[in-house]
Each structure stands twice: as C-alpha cells, then as structure tokens.
Amino acid sequence: MFERYNKVQRAVLETTLHLIIDKELQATSMSLIAKESGVSTGNIYHYFSSKEDIINELYKAIVLFNGEFVTKNLNAADSVQEQFRRAWRSVIELGKNHPKGFRFIEQYSFSPYIYEQSKLEAYKGGWCGPMEKIYRQAIDQGLFVELEPHMMVQMHYGSIVYLLKSHQQNMLELTADVEEQALRSFWNAVSKEKGWNE
C-alpha cells in the first residue's frame, strides 16, 4: 500500500492508519505512533512536517492505492456493463479486504483535516474519474438515463459505503449474492428501459 515510501515513512503511515481506525484520531497521539511504529518522534518529524502532514500523506497514498486497485482490473475492450460490474466489485472488495483504508477515506474525504490540495492530487489518481467515464459511456450508448455521471457515481458509492457499514456492524451479511443484487439494483436505478410509472 505504501510502496513508494521509504521504510520509516511506511512504518509511520501503516501504524497511523491502524491506530486511527482502531482508536479514532483523537486517541492517536504522536507518541503512540512513535511507540507502535518503532520510529522516534524526532525522526517522524524528520520525514513528516506535522501530524496533519501524516494524515494527508496517508490520504493521498490510500486514494492512489484504491485507484490502482480498481482500475487495474478494467479493460477498455469489455462491454460497458462488464466494466461497470468489475469496477464496483473492486470497490466492494476494497471495502472488504482493505477495510481500514476504505474507512479512512470514507471518514476523511470530507474532513477539514485534509487539505484541498490533497484532495485535488488524490482525485487524479483515484477511481472516481475512470468510474465516471464508464457511466458517460453508458449514457452515450443509450443505456443510462441522462443524469450527471458524478451524481450517479456518488449515489452508488454511497450505497456501497452504507452496505459495508451494515456489514461491518453485522447487520447484514454481504455475500456474493447480495453483492450481485446490489450491483444489479445500481444498474436498474439508472438504466433507461423502465421508468417510475406516475
């Protein structure tokens, strides 16, 4: 997840991620990060300018990782529906197999703690752009209704986030079947064929 960082930075980022998710930000002190990561506080400040900086670096790294994770399975030659399915499946997989990173992004993507600059940088490497492109294609091919791709992606991402929250709280078992039903519902939600009879 943090391959582009050196050993010390990686230890700090990994530790911080674990601590923030397990204990909340307020309980994640620099001295705890130092202790758990095996890096002295002094040395942490050699590699990061502040605690905020760690959080922001973490944010960017995870968004990038997630972006690569989702896009590496996409194949432009596939049908739109196939791409749609693969992409969202990857997002769900992220939520299930890399829950800490997923939850971190979910918690901090609207936080004032993350600089606008970080969000911008992150956007370029994340999966939102590619995902919106898929929706754009679906619209162009007459498959989806003419809504803002950004809006549709946000709605469906929101659904996934809440499904995963329910899953993590044991309110709902997110089996392969349930996932499939969810993805189908996403598709139907914005598919052109059928409307809401008024």
Partner DNA sequence: AATGAATGAGGATTCATTCAT
Partner DNA sequence: GATGAATGAATCCTCATTCAT
- What residues make contact with DNA under the rule CB under 7 A? 8, 26-32, 39-43, 45-47, 50-52
Closest Cα to residue 154, out of 198, 91, 101, 103? 91
User: Are 70 and 131 a contacting pair, CB within 8 Å?
Assistant: yes
In this complex, which beta carbon is closest to DNA, that of residue 43 or of residue 71? 43
Shortest spacing between CB 61 and DNA, in angstroms: 18
Distance of CA 114 to the CA centre of its chain: 15
Q: Is 189 a residue that touches a second copy (CB under 8 A)?
A: yes
What is the C-alpha separation between 47 and 8, in angstroms, rounded? 8
Amino acid at 145: V
- Two tokens, residue 70: 């989702």
Q: Which residue in the set 112, 120, 170, 176 belongs to the binding site for a second copy (CB under 8 A)? A: 112
Site residues (CB under 8 A) for a second copy, limited to 154-183: 154-163, 165-166, 169, 171-172, 178, 181-183
Provide the mask over 2-41, with x wherever binding to a second copy is found by CB under 8 A and - wherever it is not: ---------------------xxxx---------------
Q: Tell me, by CB under 8 A, how many residues bind a second copy.
A: 46
Shortest spacing between CB 55 and DNA, in angstroms: 10
In this complex, which beta carbon is closest to DNA, that of residue 51 or of residue 86? 51
Cite the DSSP H helix spans in 48-169. 51-71, 80-97, 99-108, 116-125, 128-140, 149-168
Count the neighbouring beta carbons within 10 Å of the beta carbon of residue 55. 24
CB-based contacts of 123, cutoff 8 Å, min separation 6: 63, 129
DSSP helix/strand/coil, 193: coil
Choose the one of DNA, a second copy, none that binds residue 150, judging by a C-beta under 5 to 8 angstroms depending on kind. a second copy
Choose the one of DNA, a second copy, none that binds residue 112, judging by a C-beta under 5 to 8 angstroms depending on kind. a second copy
Site residues (CB under 8 A) for a second copy, limited to 81-100: 81
DSSP helix/strand/coil, 22: helix
Binding site for a second copy (CB under 8 A): 23-26, 81, 110-113, 145, 147-148, 150-152, 154-163, 165-166, 169, 171-172, 178, 181-191, 193-196
